[in-house]
Amino acid sequence: MASVVRPTMLRQTCRAAASKRAFSTKLSQAFRPHTKPASALSRQAAQNVFLKDVLPGSMRVAAFHASGRQAILPAEPQVIHGNVNDAASVPTPSPSHGSYHWTFERLLSAALVPLTIAPFASGSLNPMTDAVLCGAILIHSHIGFEAMVTDYIPAKRLPKTKVVFWWGLRAATVLVGVGLYEFETNDVGLTEAIKKIWTA
């Protein structure tokens, strides 16, 4: 669709610029008489002025761009470690960070479905089931945010920022864990609170 529209838009822009010049009483800068003999530099300047008058701004600046150019963030300093012949460093394999971790994440995610439905389906509000549900939600959320920090904050480029986010995530997990414990022991508990909100 965009490829069909762009040539049409360019044609309309050129026609508008041409008709504007045709009906204008202002003498174009390119056609003003020069009293001095034309040197190579002045000819180049006259050519630039002529192109500025003849070509519309949309064709000169961004002929085939849909939006303006925007620099979001400046590029980080580019550093190459080693040379082209160096092999890529492979981390030491660890089952706790590999297959076991992946399996634990999937089992925890799958376990959240029955843990969420069970208290409401059975009709009984067991504090043990409530505590297991709170623990599963807390660990699942921690693993998810941990994956976000790993993916979006590279340790090579932003080592200090990554440490700040790691400790921030750990502090937030502990804080939420303490809050859930207080809510479970000194208040109605998570399941009962959801039930009251649902039927309010």
Structural domain spans, the chain: 2-29+39-61, 99-198
Q: What is the pLDDT of residues 70-84, one digit of tens each?
A: 667 677 677 777 777
Whether pLDDT at 178 is above 90: yes
- Output the known binding site: 140, 152
Residues shown for the chain: 200
Which residues sit in the known binding site for a ubiquinone? 152
Question: The domain 99-198 is classified under which CATH number: 1.20.1300.10, 3.30.365.10, 1.20.1070.10, 3.30.470.20?
Answer: 1.20.1300.10
Lowest mean pLDDT, pick from 6-10, 13-17, 19-23, 100-104? 19-23
The DSSP secondary-structure symbol of 92 reads: P
Answer whether 8's CB lies under 8 Å from 61's CB.
no
Supply the angle between the helices 99-122 and 190-198 in degrees, to the nearest 10: 50
- In angstroms, the CA 119 to CA 125 distance is 6
Predicted local confidence at residue 66, as pLDDT: 62
Q: How confident is the model at residue 47 (pLDDT cuts 50, 70, 90)?
A: low
Tell me how far apart the alpha carbons of residues 66 and 6 are, in angstroms, rounded to a whole number.
9
SS3 annotation, 15-37:
HHHHHHHHCCCCCCHHHCCCCCC
Annotated binding site for heme b: 140
Whole-number mean pLDDT of the chain?
A: 76
Predicted local confidence at residue 81, as pLDDT? 72
Q: Is the pLDDT of residue 95 over 50?
A: yes
Q: How confident is the model at residue 9 (pLDDT cuts 50, 70, 90)?
A: low
* Contacting residues for 51 by C-beta, under 8 A, at least 6 apart: 60
